[in-house]
Amino acid sequence: MAKFLLVEARFYDHLNDMLIAGARGALEAAGHEAEVLTVPGALEVPGAIAMAAESGQYDGFVALGVVIRGETYHFEIVAGESARGILALTMDGIAIGNGILTTENEAQAIYRADPAQANKGAGAAEAAMALLKLQQKFG
């Protein structure tokens, strides 16, 4: 059994609840433990994962959240930079699955967050588990 930390950017409660349910379901079905840490937004997720990874308390991480385009360029910053930060940590050897949705509207986000539909939370958890296996293989 491994211990995973779900680091959620809680910007839209109803969407995050679905993402967490999907991710938790996939991890627990595989016999792993899941704990949740909440941060204000997607830009805080990479830093939170870096801090938690440094603690040595977790084997893997799942980044969860929703970024929905608004009126300004801020969408590009939030969506792109959170993804870039997460990828940089992954390339440092930390097992992270990225389940931060970046969508044009809420309907797109609902479809992808819903465990009964695209279930992207589970997909991110599966990716984290896959990277942990690689880490254990090559570590």
Ligand X SMILES: Nc1c(NC[C@H](O)[C@H](O)[C@H](O)CO)[nH]c(=O)[nH]c1=O
Ligand Y SMILES: CC(=O)[C@@H](O)COP(=O)(O)O
Does 100 show up as a binding residue in the annotation? no
Beta bridge partners of 62: 6, 97
- Could you say whether residue 41 binds ligand X (CB under 6 A)? yes
Span interacting with ligand X, options 26-34, 36-44, 51-59, 116-124, rule CB under 6 A: 36-44
Nearest to 8 by CA among 39, 44, 54: 39
Nearer to ligand X, 14 or 133 (CB): 14
- Secondary structure E strands in 33-91: 33-39, 60-68
Nearer to ligand Y, 30 or 77 (CB): 77
Span interacting with ligand X, options 15-23, 63-71, 111-119, 128-136, rule CB under 6 A: 63-71
No. of helices (H) and no. of strands (E), the chain: 5, 4
Residue choice 26, 34, 42, 62 for contact with ligand X (CB under 6 A) = 42
Report the chain's terminal Cα–Cα distance, integer Å: 17
Q: Which amino acid is at 45?
A: V
User: Which one from 14, 74, 84, 133 is the annotated catalytic residue?
Assistant: 74
Q: What residues numbered 78-97 form the site for ligand X, per CB under 6 A?
A: 78
Catalytic residues: 74
